[in-house]
Amino acid sequence: MNQMDFEQARFNMIEQQIRPWDVLDQQVLDIISGTPREDFVPEQYRALAFADINIPLGHDQVMMPPRVEGRLLQALDIQSDDSILEIGTGSAYLCACLARMGARVHSIDIIPEFIESAKRKLAAHNIANVSLAEGDAGAGWTGEERYDAIAVTGSLPAFHEGFHQSLSIGGRLFLITGTPPVMEALLMTRVSEGHWSRESLFETSIPALIHAEESRRFVF
């Protein structure tokens, strides 16, 4: 596939997959249009970079379909001064999009080769406002820092307390919960120190975070 073919495929992806899924935020559409997805998929799947599928990344992990990535970016409503936590670096494509929308991204992955690959891909695109770290967030992420937005890119059997406590007041958390074949994408917003709102966004199905557990559930 040559560059002209990639550009046509990217246009078709936006117009036929992403817009019809109610992704209408122009900033999100511009970021997706301007971030070359084909450079982030595994080489053997490059021709499928714009397909409406979960693209295998290895280690039983996947790159989410473009329409899901678009809804995630739109739901998080990233602002230019936002500090963002990404759980699951994966292909680094979503990380690149988040970095171009916000001030800085801290991205965690349990798989060392994903981190090393992400370093190369982000550097190749001159994206310097990302810090990458190896870590196990299957049971949550309870660091002291708070974030304006948190994106969890693997699913959880059920929501637990390990993520929403890391939100700043007004901060947004995107995650997918449940078990196959139907899972629920959720947006949580921290409205005060001890209160969060919850919005159901859509149904989908993606692999679970490695070591994900449902032992620490959050009760509304």
Domains along the sequence of the chain with CATH: 3-204 (3.40.50.150)
> What is the layout of strands, in order, in the sheet containing 147-156?
130-134, 104-109, 83-87, 147-156, 167-179, 182-192, 195-204
Going from the C-alpha of 51 to that of each of 17, 42, 142, 197, the distances in angstroms are 9, 14, 35, 33
What's the pLDDT at 163? 87
The model's pTM = 0.93
Pairwise CA distance, residues 217 & 220, whole Å: 10
What's the pLDDT at 214? 46
What's the pLDDT at 128? 97
- pLDDT tens digits for 206-218? 999 988 854 444 4
Residue 111 half-sphere exposure, CB side, CA atoms within 13 Å? 19
Q: Which residues of the chain have pLDDT under 50?
A: 214-220
Q: For the chain, first and last CA: distance in Å?
A: 49
What's the pLDDT at 158? 81
Q: Are strands 83-87 and 147-156 parallel, antiparallel or unpaired?
A: parallel
